[in-house]
Amino acid sequence: MIVDVLLAYFPSDEEPSSDVEGVGEDRGFGGIPASTDAVKELAVVKYERGGDVREESCIICFGEFDEGVEVTRMPCKHAFHGGCLTRWLESSHVCPLCRHAIPASADP
């Protein structure tokens, strides 16, 4: 199920001709892990119905947020279960909902 989601969000449309140019920021929606520092800086907030968090469920596991549960927020304000988001960011540095990118791992 997760694999289907990944494929849907990250179609492989890479240009084989592109050389090393502008690597790091905008390019690479395909499977670059997020920097661990960036992951650590993500905000953890309590989910409250009618509160700040717009989502009612985690799109990664499709589980609804329970009242009072801690969720982790991307800079784009999308919220996910902390564990789900951490796992997601180990394989991708973009928001699963809107593709907002956070700093990617510097490792090759």
| Residues of this chain that bind Zn ion (CB under 5 A) | 58, 60-61, 63, 76, 78, 81, 84, 95, 97-98, 100
Nearer to Zn ion, 33 or 108 (CB): 33
CB of 108 to Zn ion, least distance (A): 26
Nearer to Zn ion, 24 or 75 (CB): 75
CB of 8 to Zn ion, least distance (A): 15
> Are 33 and 104 contacting, i.e. CB atoms less than 8 angstroms apart?
yes
SS3 content of the chain, % helix, strand, coil (to 5): 20, 15, 65
CB of 18 to Zn ion, least distance (A): 26
> Are 81 and 57 contacting, i.e. CB atoms less than 8 angstroms apart?
no
Residues in contact with 41: Cβ distance below 8 Å, sequence separation at least 6, in sequence order: none
